[in-house]
Amino acid sequence: MSKLGVGIFGIGSAGHGVMHGYSTHPATEVQAICEINAQRLEAEAREHKPSLATTNYDELLARDDIQIVSVATPDHLHAEHAIKAFEAGKHVLVEKPMCTTVADARRMIAAAENAQRLLMVSQTMRFVPLCRAIKRLYDAGELGELFFVEGSYVHDMFEYYSPTGKRYTAWRADAKSPQNILLGGGCHPVDLVLWTVNKPVRQVFCFANKKSIPEFPADDCYIVTFRFADDCLGKVLVTSGCVGHGMGEGMLSLYGTKATVWKDRLHLRGKPAQEIPLSEDDKKPLVGGHAWQAAVHHFVECILHGQKPLIDGYEGAKVVALCEAALRSAKTGQPVEPEQIG
């Protein structure tokens, strides 16, 4: 069987990560890369030697030897680039967040369905063994009924946002369309919470401020609270302006009537905190060594076997809907009912 050809649009850290994923899958071959930064494009082309290295996305999409496109461009461009790929008849793996508005999410879903091609959102935390083990505990009833869930995304993004930072990325701090960290980073804990609890969110309330990085034009701290249909409460803390990296409560904490998962430990009444039990599959090294690669391999297998991806367009859109509601709440000071997806 000939290999599935892959085109990658955007060769930043995410694009580089998915490229490694495709290069380690026996059924795929990276045929083309596209990057508007000519210097970065040249460096990647020297290292990976694709058949085509271009700054023109239409040139990549016109290739008949490409069946899969990975979209790893700035967040606000995901919808435009994914829809063009579907119109060219390609399967699409899009980096998180899926896009930045619910309207765009619906356009992406419609484009995928019209093209009869697969759409997957690369919410990589779902492939982390510990996160999968925590969800399995809940699904098995080991935690009892949940009454509170929380997650956090706490990262020091100064190096990315400030022109003096060593990893400064101009699009993130573009005054016309700056990256929204609630969507760009907070989508990780939001997705984990929604995936794990697997119930509709009925109401969202959010506070936001901007105090940490003067050069960054958007809010850099959010506290989002929400209520599920069964009255379980939730909270997500997102900040990109802190001094320090990876603090907070962790990506996922669950508080149940029988047990609690907090900071990646299982707490049972009257017993010492325990390690989260991992299955034998969980103990195996991640495919490719990173969740980026694991997500790529899952997507490829779904294409090969005609299966629904773990994070399809509807799953990705639910995250966008909650974040969109939170942003509206922060602006109005009022609780908001998120748009229901699917």
Query: Per-residue pLDDT tens for 9-56?
Result: 999 889 889 999 999 999 999 999 999 988 889 988 898 899 999 999
Q: ∠ CA(248), CA(250), CA(256), 5° rounding? A: 115
Give all domains of the chain, ordered by start, each with its CATH number.
4-124+288-310 (3.40.50.720), 126-284+319-332 (3.30.360.10)
Check residue 7 and give its pLDDT: 98
User: Which pTM does this prediction carry?
Assistant: 0.95
10-residue stretch averages of pLDDT, the chain, 342 residues long: 92 90 95 92 89 96 98 97 98 98 98 98 96 96 98 89 82 86 96 97 97 86 97 96 78 97 95 94 82 95 97 98 98 98 88
pLDDT at 1: 56
Predicted pLDDT at 258 = 98
